[in-house]
Amino acid sequence: MSSREEVTAKILSRKVELGLTWKGIAADLGSSSPIIYTAALLGQMTLTAEEAGKAAAIFGLTKEEANWLVISPERGATAIMPPTDPLIYRFYELIQNYGTTWKALIEEEFGDGIMSAIDFSMSIEREPDPKGDRVKIGMSGKFLPFKRF
């Protein structure tokens, strides 16, 4: 009997053992974003049955382990708040410093509502800079207005 956490640990171990990259793995799994595939393999999203079969072949997963990859996960279940990893903490710091600003500007433009994290796309790019390369993150989420009832 395995768990989602055990499958994630096995995937990470095999990734290191085989010298794989997330982008390379994503290319072998299908046509979706490397962000989605990485999130799924880290236990935060799901794969299709076909993608899970490909992941099983790459990582040497059993049928049961592959089945965990198609089951809806407990997203954020292992998150520590505030985060202790320095890179993840910087995102938390962005929310602390700019969250109310983003909220005010979004509401001014769209009205009272939220930006969906379900109907959502994201990109991560390297942006060359003479003072040191930069991380460029783009996010696009559908606006969902609050409804009166």
From the candidates 116, 121, 123, 140, give the one annotated as an active-site residue.
Answer: 116
For residue 72, indicate whether it is catalytic: no
Rg of the chain over all Cα atoms, to the nearest angstrom: 18
Active site residue 116: yes
Amino acid at 51: E
Q: Which of 13, 74, 90, 121 is catalytic?
A: 90
Long-range contacts of 27-31 (CB under 8 A, 24+ apart): 28/54, 28/58, 29/54, 29/55, 29/58, 30/54
Please report, as a single letter, which amino acid is at residue 77. A
Question: Catalytic annotation on 2?
Answer: no
Which listed residue (6, 64, 93, 107) is catalytic?
93
Catalytic residue numbers? 90, 93, 116
